Structure 1
Amino acid sequence: FTWEVKANSRAFNSQFKTSFLCWQRQKYKSNVIHTAKYNVFSFLPLSLYEQFHRVSNLYFLFIIILQGFPEISTLPWFTLFAPLVCLLTIRATRDLVDDIVSVAGGRGLGRAGVGEGQGAMLFPPNPPAPPQADLLLLASTEPSSLCYVETADIDGETNLKFRQAPPVTHLELTSIRNMASFQGKVVCEEPNSRMHHFVGCLEWNGRKHPLDSGNMLLRGCRVRNTDTCYGMVIYAGFDTKIMKNCGRIHQKRTKIDRLMNKLVMLVRGLEFKAKHHYVSSKHLYSVAAETFLIFWGFLTQLSVMVPMAMVEFIYLGNSIFINWDVQMYHAPQDEPAKARSTSLNDQLGQVEYIFSDKTGTLTQNVMTFKKCCIGGVIYGGSQASNPYLWNKFADGKLLYRNERLLCAVRHNEDKVVREFWRLLAICHTVMVQEKDNQLVYQAASPDEEALVTAARNFGYVFLARTQDSITVMELGEKRVYQVLAMMDFNSIRKRMSVLVRNPEGSIYLYTKGADVVIFERLHKKGMKEWATEEALASFAEETLRTLCLAYKEVDEDMYEEWRQRHQEASILLQNRAHALHQVYEEMEQGLQLLGATAIEDRLQDGVCDTIKCLKQGNIKVWVLTGDKQETAVNIGCPCQLLSESMLILEEKEAAIQAVLASDYSFSQFKFLQRLLLVHGRWSYVRVCKFLRCFIYKTVASMMVQVWFAFYSGFTAQPLYEGWFLALFNLLYSTLPVLYIGLFEQDVSAQRSLELPQLYTAGQKDELFNYWVFLQALAHGTVTSLVNFFVTLWVSHDSAGPVSFSDYQSFAVVVAMSGLLSITMEVTLVIRYWTVLSVLAIVLSLCFYVLATWATQSFWLFQISPSTFPFLCEPPSGERGGGPWTQTGSTQAGRGRSVVAKGSSEWCPLGAGDLGAALALQEVEEAPSEEIITVEPGPYLHRGSRGRRSSYAFSHREGYADLITQGTSLRKAPGGIPASSTGPWGKSLVSGVIYPITDKNV
């Protein structure tokens, strides 16, 4: 604890320095922060540095450098430079836009005043604005210097919380003049990222006063319902807790992305291996030097065999489709799905495990008071008319009604009943405000709000709180309780206690918490306690959230001794939390049980169907909950999360931290099956088919350069025109494969949900792996062999009508044959035909025709013969249709291999996969009476009465943006792909009816 801050003393705070070697700097940072990732000077170098972390970009940069040497370069400089610059520009623009959007979204959080250094006295303005530093609250205009804050920008919770100034500053700092002359010194912990933890003490006028997180206003919180509050800066700038939590973001990579980096290195190794034995036939230099130069020349020729990362565009497009899907839009809360990450879509198609919280994720997070047990007697709900007409403070939204319990409350004769509702009205952290002459409660969790509202309807109305008091209206009588100590809830204690002095002067401790910790601290156990345990088990079997209540009266002498130990522990700087825990433990002993409460948190719509569908897709769903084991069992079994043969794992201590920086967000759990089984699987299929097609087309076109080398004496003479190489991957062959990556669908969205077994292909990496990569290489190599040698053999027919022997004609025909071969192959791969697919193919061919006509024009040749060396002049024999006839011969020769190969190899959904899925579905739909089974002994004993922790705070649901969706324009009959097979692996025949049921759709 070396962090010392003195109020109104800049000289004192600036004397602290840190040294590194011979440099010294201020220990305390200024309050100037920059949340932008880039600035005017760092944008270009930082963006390039990040983009060249990709192996493919580094590879192309290396090739471009080689092209700068005339002795090595065999192609024009623009063949790779122009596509790479275009790609880098688009990516840099996207990163810049994302950075601008993120800065604009956090503009209120990022503003900072330059002069707001440590020790400065500040007051957040009204209307509310986030404090510009981490402040110690000194005073406010509210009673007892309370301050209401909202921490939505920090932890996502919109419920109001209260902060209190230390009592000494509340009493002494009552004017601006006193604030200006304040000379207190705060000694506290070093800056850290623990948002809800702070330990320190205020040294002022020779005394030490304890400080904790309840005295702090953190940067990012918003002041509510408070006119003015004053604070002292403790942490500023990058020392604030919220900035300490803004750690360095590591870029996430998918499995396919990591595999592609390895394959790029493999392709590069193959290129090195293929040219290792090339020998030069020219001797302008020595043989060794000539061989060295030609080696690198061939490397530049085959460089486009490494696919450029157009996958980025596919990731972006598929993310937009998620945002546009109206079937993942939750209208009641106006919350659509949102893809916050644009580079992980294909990973959604390979998920094997889902870890989920229960409260607010599987449930609606709307808590309803359903039942209670007081003194061993269970009071359930009834259908009686509104019995709260006598209570002007009653909340009409509360549906729990029990006339027998209400009669006992109004008679005010049963002390256990009276203390039960008094405890619920006192032991909490709820804030209250009056709006339209009605009390409005703001709670940290829906559980507490439901409990306080129930006490309110039964005549124990929580009216107000100050720093040291709580006001309660008890059956029409206003009573003010002095708060002596508040022992807050945490995941270790699993309970909350309040020590109060009633108006009569007696001291009482009220405690509520998990049954397992309350029963351990009871004074004795009798019939009422056993009856309460039975009631807790009954509530758990009804999937209700349970909570136990207990109290005890404290002697004055005992309290005075305990108060001294509590004061000593609260001012400790080292191990304060542990010391306070021991002090609390001393007080929370010898309790008397009052009863238990039962709150209902219903499952969201579609949870059961979603979990069943995910399990059929071989996705394992794990749910973490703090409820009793019986509650977990009775919730898990109906939604098919658990079966009789499963075992529940119980962890005694578990810490759950909400992750704010999510990659994907949606408001309802049922949308998860569409996100994974539809968008995730589609993205995986699209990326895999795109990569296979891209590898195939680059190999099919570029391997021709290798075959040509055998006839050019390995002189590194390129076969293709330079402009053809420059535009091949940019215009001529990109649109069809880009369409596959963005719009391809093997089955419709509805069919994907009906057959979740199809999802297993992504989990097993079936659609893209090393074997698929080698298949694409082999297929492209065979295509290049056919295109080159058929063209060569036809050109050697000097006596025939289709012969031609000049180099340019040969190059143009080979290029045309290669482009048509690739286009035909992509046409066979596409299974989801739309207007866009036809347009992509037509535009690609049109671009080739127009660009070839333009770059081979005579007037451009006259301007720059070296840049435009090819002429669009009819070669010998072309008047008779030679090249076109030869191109047709090439495609006919290649067609036999295509037919033999079959388009099923390119089908992302194998026939056997669909057949297996249909067979599995048929087995699942078989009548249960035809199956004879032996029921195994269950591991889950429904009648267990073991006590388990059941109290947990609720979480809010996430946020997202509005989305829409597209629909399939072409379906095979019955929604089944034409290449599918039946349940026994046989081909499906048109006109034959197969037993396919849709019970689970």
Structure 2
Amino acid sequence: MPSTPHGYVRQESDIDIEEASDDDDSDSVYEGPSADFVDPAMVQRDGCCQRLCRCLCPRRKVKETGFRLVRADDRRTNRPIVIDEDGEMKFLRKVSNVVASTKYTIMSFVPMVFAQQFKFFFNFFFLVLAVTQSLPPLRVGPMFTYIGPLVFVLMCTMLKEASDDIKRWRRDKAVNSKKYTRVNTAIGDLEKVASADIKVGDVLQVLTNERVPADMILLRTEFGEQEGSKDGQTYIRTDQLDGEKDWKPRKAPALTQDLAGWRDLCGDVQICAKVEAPQMSIYKFLGRLSLRKLGEDSDVKSEALGLENTLWANTVVTHGPVYGLVVYTGVDSRTVMSYDDNASDDKTCLLDKQVDFCAKVCFAILIGLSFMLVLCRGLRGQWWIFLLRYIVLLSYIIPISLRVNLDMAKTLYASRIGNDSKIPGTVARNTAIVEDLGTVDYVLTDKTGTLTKNDMLFKKLRVPAGEYSSGTDTQQISLMITRVLRRILAARPSPGVFGRSPGQRGQTEEESQGLELLTAMVTLALCHNVTPVETAGSDEWTLQAPSPDEAALVKYARECGIKLIRRDDDSIILECLNITGRPQLRYDIIECFPFSSDRKRMGIIVKEEVAGHDSNNAFMEDVVDDYARHGKDKKCVPWAGLRTLVVALKRMTAESCDEFQAAYREAALDVSEQREDKLAAIVDSHLETNLDLVCLTGVEDMLQDDVAPVIESLRVAKIKVWMLTGDKIDTAICIAISTALKSPDQPLLRLEASHVHSAIDALSDLREARNAKSEGLSDTVVVIDGTVLAMVLSAGLYTSEFVELIKDAPAVVCCRCSPSQKSEVVRAIKKYDNGQRTLAIGDGGNDVGMIQAADVGVGIVGKEGMQASLAADFSIQEFRSLHRLLLWHGRNCYLQSARMSLFVIHRGLVIAVMQVIFSAMFYFIALPLFQGWLMIGYSTYERNPYPLPRYGVLMLRYYTTAPVFSLCLYTDLEDTVVYQYPELYAISRRGRQMSLKAFLGWVWKSIYQGSAIMVLTVILFGNELITSSLVAVAFTSLVISELLNVASEVHPNWHPLMIVAELLSIVIYVYSMFILRSYFDLDTIFSIGFLWKVAIITAVSWIPVSIG
């Protein structure tokens, strides 16, 4: 009997589809001896000392290596076994499945909150001050004036942290107490178990739409007569794991799916899974399942396990019930480990660093003024006590309210961004760095799904006989395919689609060309991982595809008359739309090799169901030459910017297919880290030789709206834009031109290399190009291919030089970038271009590393899911939202916070200057000028938690803070002006508002106003110096001057809320005069003399600085 023809179809990509690939899995079942069933008596047990250490150090986590042996059995008698890299066997240490996302315990709450708060310079400084006031020799005033503000800040923080942690505890409790169904292997029945009590080795039943509680191996599916139940296939939703919305197919191993029912999992059958040690990657898995029936001479059957056999924790089963073997729990699960892996380092805002620098300068001023007062008093007696008292007196130089004001401002900015109707759906997830949006120097962007819509349209097809375009040539292709198909189906016996090769003797030119097109369309309809899903209540079909590229190819095949109507793990069925009766073509799947971003290709082996004789297995001649010829043609203009695929075909006999399967399945049973390399080598040697070129395809990824104007504005704002893409260099250049990353008059520098030595030469070319121009590469767009980039990043010797050479380029395109290289590029810029702030933006899971490595990470909610969006500091709906986010919100946030910070520091410096003059007037006595409630009312804004004497009234303490906070509402320009002149962003981005020059300007302003107020107060009182009256006049002048400073700072764009805050502050201040009788004499306050003195002092202190 002649052998049945087999076909191996390969798609080789010239681009990075940016979709993580599944491990190559196998349904092979091998019989024979296996070491997976280990006698527990052979396992080394821990000694008493080791068990004691575990009790004393329960949280000590040791990285597990090697493999686990997990048996679906009563865990009390057969504990899981760990085999390390040296072959030593130990029982698996118990890992609880309790979900614990809380940050604190009852015992650790107070110490941990205090540790977090006192790491800030402000809080630690005021803690030291509060401690000094408990010592009588150092006390300079009521203790509550120093302890009160600090306690209030800490209490607010503790209440917030406690509230958040209680919410987390309640969520954890709901998850841990949820009941699941477990198979009791001892009695062969089902029982309920709480999620927290699930252990490794349990066999669980998971129902439809139920969350998977732990990492499991899918053993079998049982959901009635529904499609997929018999072959062990089900689907899961992974949106809570990786953010992707598409359903993922999962399949049970044939060993357990072929059993009669779930009760056989615990009957006369022993099941053991050998799985890798816990890993972080949710896209890879290595393992082997072994099964044997109880009996002395029973053979052990083994089957390779891959990603398609897994059910990770927190995924949701869409079709159930299913049964799975728990292999990882708790902190060993992929969910927890991937979160730990993706957790970004704490990001610090540039403004916070600048404020911290100003605080340190203020501290130096504080120490300097204190030493000056001590020296003027004389170094006699216990002079160091007076030094400490002076430090306490002048401590208002460092305002405790600044940190609180900044935190409130950040919350306000985040709310303003989230409620902006012009960029709907924008979310500020990390409010701590919101001001960094106004200081960005580099924007590093992904291409697919970020600059483009990730919405693929089929545009070009080339077969050896000619080139075709979608739309105009689709009908012609459909007619030619229909004619050829009719001849093939009418033949008896039918040779099948792949039974005849184009160019055979007796074929007309039209028939040969039609056969080429038919082969191309059928190949595109076969070589993919697309699953058609019927829409409920209609005849429409939707395509569940791992990437939009594959869906575009299948859709175009349908337009040409070849429709995919069914695909499962065993077969693919196609329908011929343009032929009467719509005959079907059935293909059995022998092996499928999903797309791999490493190999940039995918493949499938199918067997065409035809009756009769062999198909003709003749191959095209000079296939290598055809590849080269078509590769050159792809650089022509009509293919510019398209995502291209090379599709090839190999016809196999049954014997060659069996030979390949034997080698492949043997390698698939290997559970070592070399399994992928072995499988790839077998595919290369058996399948990817002597291939027939079928066709070239070109798919267009449409640009997002307004991408070019946004990038052009960013470049005018002096922001350097880098595009990191997996595309080949020609496609990347075309995208760079269409997105305005490169202007028509800009020179282009290409750095290409085929190996490391030529990559070094390319770096030399970059050096020469930079040295050839006096301005360097400031007007040049640099394009770097993957070989040069890999050499630069892998060898630390070249990284710093590379960044130094290329940092002046306004735009850079990095081609053939892997996800790890994207994050390495970001880190290299941060490390070697010091002081420059980076922003990374992407939409896919492979962009998470880059987003979290950057100073500011922006994620786009795209078709590849929400993983990037959830991991980012800011989430937007489309790329054009970045324009308003940076140029409008970023600029305003930075300028407003900088202005408010300097104003708050100025407010403390004024008090310090007045205190120095007051002490000098009274022979350098260490007594405060303004005591108790006056200082609290001036420097903070919170409600006073302490009752006032006699009145028991709570006084609002924001004489000047509410108006100062209103500075966060001030905008100097309209958004239309900022958009029209992006250069304004470049000016604010330099940080001049928080520079040393700006800070010293405010210091000088503080010295003048403080001196003017205090000196004029003394002069106007003359010989009638009454301390209480002097304090009242000086303090009133100070408050009014500060309110006028706020008004002049935002003039002429007064915000209505600012005016309300100013008026309210005056009302509160006047009200406080009536309840603070110990500080204010009402008869004096409402006298003509008091009012004219305040007016003169205020005018002299405020008018000169406001005019200047």
**Which TM class, normalised by the smaller chain length?**
0.7 to 0.9
List aligned pairs for 1:252-291, cutoff 5 A: 252-276=347-371, 278-279=373-374, 288=381, 290-291=382-383
Q: Deviations over 1:78-100 (max 9, x none)?
A: 22333233333444455556667
Moved more, 199-208 or 687-696: 199-208
Moved more, 499-508 or 617-626: 499-508
The aligned counterpart of 2:409 is: 314
The aligned counterpart of 1:7 is: 72
Q: Deviations over 1:668-718 (max 9, x none)?
A: 111111000000000011011111111112111232111111122323111
Contact 2:1044–2:1102 (CA<8 Å) still a contact in 1?
no
Deviation at 1:727, TM superposition (A): 1.3
The aligned counterpart of 1:655 is: 818
The aligned counterpart of 1:810 is: 1030
| 2:113 pairs with 1:47 | yes
The aligned counterpart of 1:125 is: 207
The aligned counterpart of 1:378 is: 467
Q: Identity of counterpart residues, as a percentage? A: 25
The aligned counterpart of 2:1001 is: 775
2:246 match: secondary structure: strand
Q: Deviations over 1:189-212 (max 9, x none)?
A: 211211111112123323432111
Counterpart code for 1:75: G
The aligned counterpart of 1:933 is: none
CA distance in 2, matches of 1:588, 1:102: 53
Deviation at 1:654, TM superposition (A): 2.6
Counterpart code for 1:835: P
| 2:932 pairs with 1:845 | no
The aligned counterpart of 1:235 is: 328
List aligned pairs for 1:189-338, cutoff 5 A: 189-205=276-292, 206-224=300-318, 226-247=319-340, 250-276=345-371, 278-279=373-374, 288=381, 290-308=382-400, 309=403, 310-329=405-424, 336-338=425-427
Contact 1:406–1:458 (CA<8 Å) still a contact in 2?
no
The aligned counterpart of 2:936 is: 726
List aligned pairs for 1:296-445, cutoff 5 A: 296-308=388-400, 309=403, 310-329=405-424, 336-382=425-471, 413=511, 414-435=514-535, 436-445=538-547
CA distance in 2, matches of 1:509, 1:501: 14
Shift in alpha-carbon separation, 1:222–1:312, aligned structure 2, 3 A: same
List aligned pairs for 1:912-923, cutoff 5 A: none
The aligned counterpart of 2:26 is: none
Deviation at 1:498, TM superposition (A): 0.5
| 2:146 pairs with 1:80 | yes
2:210 match: secondary structure: coil
Contact 1:13–1:28 (CA<8 Å) still a contact in 2?
no
Counterpart code for 2:148: A
Q: Deviations over 1:415-459 (max 9, x none)?
A: 322221221222111123223343332111111112112223333
Counterpart code for 2:100: H
The aligned counterpart of 1:702 is: 912
CA distance in 1, matches of 2:722, 2:162: 38
1:155 match: secondary structure: coil
Contact 1:541–1:630 (CA<8 Å) still a contact in 2?
no
Shift in alpha-carbon separation, 1:18–1:765, aligned structure 2, 3 A: farther
| 2:971 pairs with 1:872 | no
1:758 match: secondary structure: helix
Counterpart code for 2:962: L
The aligned counterpart of 2:560 is: 458
Deviation at 1:354, TM superposition (A): 0.9
The aligned counterpart of 2:669 is: 571
Deviation at 1:39, TM superposition (A): 5.3
Moved more, 522-531 or 624-633: 522-531
Contact 1:544–1:631 (CA<8 Å) still a contact in 2?
yes
The aligned counterpart of 2:7 is: none
CA distance in 1, matches of 2:389, 2:721: 54
List aligned pairs for 1:643-792, cutoff 5 A: 643=743, 644-647=746-749, 648-652=783-787, 654-656=817-819, 657-659=846-848, 660=868, 661-730=871-940, 731-741=958-968, 743-792=969-1018
CA distance in 2, matches of 1:885, 1:199: 86
Shift in alpha-carbon separation, 1:541–1:597, aligned structure 2, 3 A: closer
The aligned counterpart of 2:548 is: 446
Q: How many residues align?
A: 842
Shift in alpha-carbon separation, 1:599–1:146, aligned structure 2, 3 A: same
Taking structure 1 as the reference length, what is the TM-score of the superposition? 0.79
1:328 match: secondary structure: coil
Shift in alpha-carbon separation, 1:528–1:724, aligned structure 2, 3 A: same
The aligned counterpart of 1:503 is: 609
Shift in alpha-carbon separation, 1:641–1:61, aligned structure 2, 3 A: same
Deviation at 1:244, TM superposition (A): 0.5
Shift in alpha-carbon separation, 1:12–1:750, aligned structure 2, 3 A: farther
Deviation at 1:791, TM superposition (A): 0.8
List aligned pairs for 1:914-953, cutoff 5 A: none
Alpha-carbon RMSD = 3.1
What 5-or-longer segments of structure 1 have no aligned partner?
330-335, 388-399, 511-520, 799-803, 857-868, 903-1001
Taking structure 2 as the reference length, what is the TM-score of the superposition? 0.72
Aligned match for 2:738, one of 628, 638, 644: 638
CA distance in 1, matches of 2:485, 2:1091: 98
The aligned counterpart of 2:217 is: 136
Contact 2:562–2:576 (CA<8 Å) still a contact in 1?
yes
Contact 1:500–1:507 (CA<8 Å) still a contact in 2?
no
Counterpart code for 2:1016: V
CA distance in 1, matches of 2:529, 2:652: 22
Deviation at 1:880, TM superposition (A): 5.6
Counterpart code for 1:572: D
Counterpart code for 1:781: I
Aligned match for 1:63, one of 115, 122, 129: 129
Deviation at 1:604, TM superposition (A): 1.3
Moved more, 189-198 or 414-423: 414-423
Aligned match for 1:482, one of 581, 588, 595: 588
Contact 1:681–1:762 (CA<8 Å) still a contact in 2?
yes
Contact 1:540–1:628 (CA<8 Å) still a contact in 2?
no
Q: Deviations over 1:798-841 (max 9, x none)?
A: 4xxxxx31111111111112112222222110132122111111
Q: Deviations over 1:341-362 (max 9, x none)?
A: 1111110000011111111111
CA distance in 2, matches of 1:553, 1:547: 20
CA distance in 1, matches of 2:203, 2:309: 15
Q: Deviations over 1:600-634 (max 9, x none)?
A: 22111111111111111011111122334333222
Contact 1:319–1:345 (CA<8 Å) still a contact in 2?
yes
2:453 match: secondary structure: coil
Shift in alpha-carbon separation, 1:282–1:651, aligned structure 2, 3 A: closer
Counterpart code for 1:759: Y
Counterpart code for 1:265: K
Contact 1:108–1:130 (CA<8 Å) still a contact in 2?
no
Aligned match for 1:624, one of 719, 724, 732: 724
2:817 match: secondary structure: coil
| 2:699 pairs with 1:599 | yes
CA distance in 2, matches of 1:102, 1:362: 37
Counterpart code for 2:205: F
Deviation at 1:465, TM superposition (A): 3.2
What 5-or-longer segments of structure 2 have no aligned partner?
1-65, 85-89, 179-193, 223-228, 293-299, 489-510, 750-782, 788-815, 820-845, 849-867, 941-957
Deviation at 1:473, TM superposition (A): 3.0
Shift in alpha-carbon separation, 1:707–1:404, aligned structure 2, 3 A: farther
Shift in alpha-carbon separation, 1:530–1:282, aligned structure 2, 3 A: closer
Contact 1:145–1:467 (CA<8 Å) still a contact in 2?
no
Moved more, 82-91 or 256-265: 82-91
